[in-house]
Structures are given as C-alpha cells and as structure tokens.
Amino acid sequence: MLMMITHEILSLFLFYTCFCRSVKMSLQTDREIRLAFWALSVASVVSIFAPLQGFEPNGVTCILLASIDIVQTVTAKHWKHKTPYGLEAQHNAG
C-alpha cells in the first residue's frame, strides 16, 4: 500500500510540474519541446490511473518517477518566468 501511495504522489507531482511548464510555453516554444512535455504529461496521467487497471507499482517505477520529479524540480528555476532562453524557436533558427 505504501508503494501505491508513493507512486500516486510522484505521478501527481510529475503532472503538476508539466502543467506548470506548459502555462509558460507559447507558439514560440520549439515544437519538439512542446511535444516532449505533452508526452510527459500524458505519461503522468497514464501512471496516475494505471493502478485502476491492475498495475502494481514497485520500487523501480517509483525510483524512475522520483528521478524525473527531481529533474523537474531542479530545472524549475529556469522556468520561473517563461520558457528558458534557447528553447524558443527564434533562438534556434539559423
């Protein structure tokens, strides 16, 4: 039961971090970046609801989720006000 609760908290946190970044993005954000965060958001939603389909989280899945959450947390300072410089299409053109 503890593993299930941990899995759900980590999955919800991952979705939250993706949402926080998505509100900073615009059409000027590279399409690949928008697609990557969309895919990560979808994966987090699938992860949230997977236990309803019989999936039983284990230590490996929780470690993977925690690792992604740590990366999202550490890089959050770069997303504080807007999409980071270099992730927008006009900065990568040419």
- Average pLDDT for the chain: 92
Six token digits for residue 5: 């609760």
| Cβ pair 69, 17 in contact under 8 A | yes
Residues contacting 62, CB < 8 A, separation 6+: 3, 6, 7, 10
How many residues belong to the chain?
A: 94
For the segment 46-88, what is each residue's pLDDT rounded down to a tens digit? 999 999 999 999 999 999 999 999 999 999 999 988 888 888 8
Return the residue matching tokens 């991952």.
14
For residue 1, what pLDDT band results from cuts at 50, 70 and 90?
very high
pLDDT at 81: 86
Residue 55 φ then ψ, to 5°: -70, 135
